[in-house]
Every structure is written in C-alpha cells, then in structure tokens.
Chains A and B, each alone.
Chain A
Amino acid sequence: DIEMTQSPDSLAVSLGERATINCRSSQSLFYNSNNKDYFAWYQQKPGQPPKLLISWASTRESGVPDRFSGSGSGTDFTLTISSLQAEDVAVYYCQQYYSNPWTFGRGTKVEIK
C-alpha cells in the first residue's frame, strides 16, 4: 500500500494569514504516460462528509475558492490556503489514486489562532 504522511497534524493560523499543509507519499504518484499526479485534497468540516477541493494535485474543483491551491509532484505535495477565513476551519486530507488500495493521509486539523 502507498502510505500518505501529512504534516503537521494540526496548525493554528490567524485570520487572513497563510496556512500550508504538506503530504508525502511513500512512492511517486506521477504517471509518465499522461504527465499527471494521481493525488487529491479534501476538506472535512465537523459532522460533514469530506468535500473534494483539488484533484490531479493542482486542479481546483468548480466552486472552490481560489484561496485554495495545490502544488507539488511525485511524492511531495502541498495545500495552501492563501488567506485563512473562519469557514476554512476543518480537517484536510490528502489521497492518492495511483494504485489500489486508494489511501488517505491521517488528516491535518486547521484552526484559528
């Protein structure tokens, strides 16, 4: 199985400041055949299911605010919230869909400082 390691486990950021979450996979998620990284980010608020934010490492889903951005390739990926808003308080998960079984990181809890 591909192991997904997120860091930090939690972080507290002031409103309007930048939040950065990292995710590292135990093997490369990049397919040379189509130049894509098989990697996604989700946001989960309390009592709700996860919501897809970003796929293919950096493609923001329709309706997701542009303060959310994804970057990275291969084994190292980053989710950046450029200006944290109160509604961004949540747990964020990374996920690989390169190989079965699809696996998730353990999550990063984002709070307001």
Chain B
Amino acid sequence: GAGVSQSPRYKVAKRGQDVALRCDPISGHVSLFWYQQALGQGPEFLTYFQNEAQLDKSGLPSDRFFAERPEGSVSTLKIQRTQQEDSAVYLCASSPNRVSFSYEQYFGPGTRLTVT
C-alpha cells in the first residue's frame, strides 16, 4: 500500500517568504508527527497530532511555525517569514495507534527546504 508522502520534495525559498509543506499520512493512521532534521543531525521533534487535535507543539522553534490537520488526515506545516536557520529536511511520520512511541512510526521521504 501507499506509504507516507510529502510534497514538495524540495523547496527553495527566499528569506522572508512563507512556505507550506504538505504531509499525506497512511490512510487511517491516527497519529501524525513532524520533525526537523538539520544537516548532519538526527530528527528533532516539532509537533504531533492525534486525529485533528494538536496535542503537543512544544518542539516548534518559534511562533513563525504553525501546523494543522483540520480533518484528521492531511497535515500542513507552515513557516512564515522564513530565515536561513530554517533550512533543513522536514520529516512527517504517521502511526496507526493512539499517540504513543511504543508503536512504530512510518516516515515520509521528507521535504528539503533551502532558504536563500
């Protein structure tokens, strides 16, 4: 079956532009997670959803970052007024169960954002 998909795969933005990154989780998966992976680093947690509810957004680095999942399926991560330090790969993952890391997360291929 289809896995987690993300679009676009690559995005180049000029500093100050707004960007929107999309995640399509595996159909029926309850939980959805966003991570930021800087070059040469491991993924860092940003936020997660259980269905349409955003249960934790403590990892969002600033109020320029905003995530939503209005219908409990597709999610969008929006970054306003992008800065160079926002350059990273943004990973989305979904899980079939309630929010718990004892269950496997399925990752998408990521969106590589480059801010010039």
Report if A and B associate in a common complex: no
User: Interface residues, chain A, CB within 8 Å of chain B?
Assistant: none
